[in-house]
Amino acid sequence: MTYPWHLYLMAALYVLAGNFHLFIPGAYVRIMPKSLPNPKLLVLLSGWAEILLGIALCFPATKNTAIYGILLMLVVYMPIHFHMLSNKEAAAGIPQWLLVLRIPLQLGLAYWAYRYLGV
C-alpha cells in the first residue's frame, strides 16, 4: 500500500529525531528533570522508540500501532517541555517564546499523526 508523501515525511522526521537522541544524547539529558532516574538511558531508549515508530509508520501492519505509540510518546514528553519552561538550566538558553511555542507544536504533531489512523 502506498501512503501519502506527508506520512513518509512524518516517518522520516521521527527517524531523524531519534538519531539525534542517539548521537547527541547530552543535549537531551540536559533538559531532563533531575527527578527521573538514569536520564541518559531514558534519552537513548526514547531515541530508539522514535526510530522504530518512524519506521513502523511505513508499513500497513504496524502503521496504526505506531501512531498510537507516537501519540503516547508526545504525551509522555509534554512534562519535559513544561520543565524546560520552569527551569532556566533545562531551558538551555532557548528563548522563552520558543519554549512556549513548542507546546502547541506538540499538539500539532499529535493531530498530524492522529489524522492517519485508519487510512
Q: How far apart are CA 105 and CA 99, in angstroms?
A: 10
Average pLDDT over the chain reads 93
Residues in the chain: 119
Task: Check pLDDT > 70 for residue 39.
Answer: yes
Calculate what percentage of the chain has a pLDDT beyond 90.
79
pLDDT average, residue stretch 83-106: 90
The DSSP-derived string for 49-109 is HHHHHHHHTTSTTTHHHHHHHHHHHHHHHHHHHHHHHH-HHHHTT--HHHHHHHHHHHHHH
105 — pLDDT class (breaks 50, 70, 90): very high
Q: Is the pLDDT of residue 108 over 90?
A: yes
pTM: 0.90
The residue written with cell numbers 507546546 in the block is 103
